[in-house]
Chain A
Amino acid sequence: MIMAGTVKLNINALRVLALLYHATDAPYYGLTISRSLQMGNGTLYPILDKLEDGGLVAGSWEDIDPRQEGRRPRRYYELTGAGVRAFEAARQALFDPAWGGNHEVK
């Protein structure tokens, strides 16, 4: 368990942070995060709640016209600055001991 501010990051929370950290092609919403990580939505949403409460992740609504698109807008998630720093710190804390503490995060 790694602490990021007041948020306790367990392995699933770190997986969500890692996915959003490396997200480059398309924004992720609940279902795509769930599918990418093979994680049930019963696990995912409490984690997203915790990360949003801690200010590590921010959700924003998709900007579409529901009548034109024929579906409801999705809620996309992305890391905040604090989330990026928390993930990098967690990664360093996890991997530095394995590499003798001399590994630099690029």
Chain B
Amino acid sequence: MKSNDRLETIISWLAHELPQRQAVRQQEWLAELESLPAGLPRLKFALGCFLAVWKLQPDPVARFVGWPLRFLWSIFDQKSRQVAAARQTNTIFFQQRFDGIGVSGMPGQFFKRPERLPPEVDLPPMQFNDGSEKS
């Protein structure tokens, strides 16, 4: 990712933190950013955008505490989603193996479940040792 793209991402994110006119400011700031020469002027502009967002917050201190917390939460949330997805994948994998649908030669074949009959099939009458039948 180029540094310009990073700055654009940062500025877009900052604009969305504004209490109002998020979309307008985002487009406006991106237009102004691209008209600046690369390097220090763009960094200064991004810093100015941060200050503007800071000044426009109704409760900047709470926001200041909230930003790192939300950042940490997003990392934690992402990790926990990954772990949950991995667990789900493992569960499905082992279920498949023990259901007998797994790879041939794996333990699944010894635990093959009997196929269930569809409910509309009529079962044949049971035969007893004395030759009698019972349905």
Residues of A contacting B: mostly: helix
Chain A residues in 8 Å Cβ range of B28: 29-30, 74-75
In the complex, which of the residues B27, B28, B49, B50 has the most CB atoms of chain A within 10 Å of its own CB atom? B28
- Least Cβ distance of B49 to chain A in Å? 6
Task: Report whether A46 and B34 are in contact in the complex, using a CB–CB cutoff of 8 Å.
Answer: no
| B side interface size, CB within 8 A | 24
Chain A residues in 8 Å Cβ range of B55: 42-43, 46
Q: For the complex, what is the distance from the CA of A26 to the CA of B44, rounded to whole Å?
A: 25
A96 within 8 A of B: no
- Least Cβ distance of A100 to chain B in Å? 38
B84 within 8 A of A: no
Chain B residues in 8 Å Cβ range of A71: 31, 34-35
**Which positions in A face B, CB cutoff 8 Å?**
29-31, 40-46, 49, 52, 59, 71-75
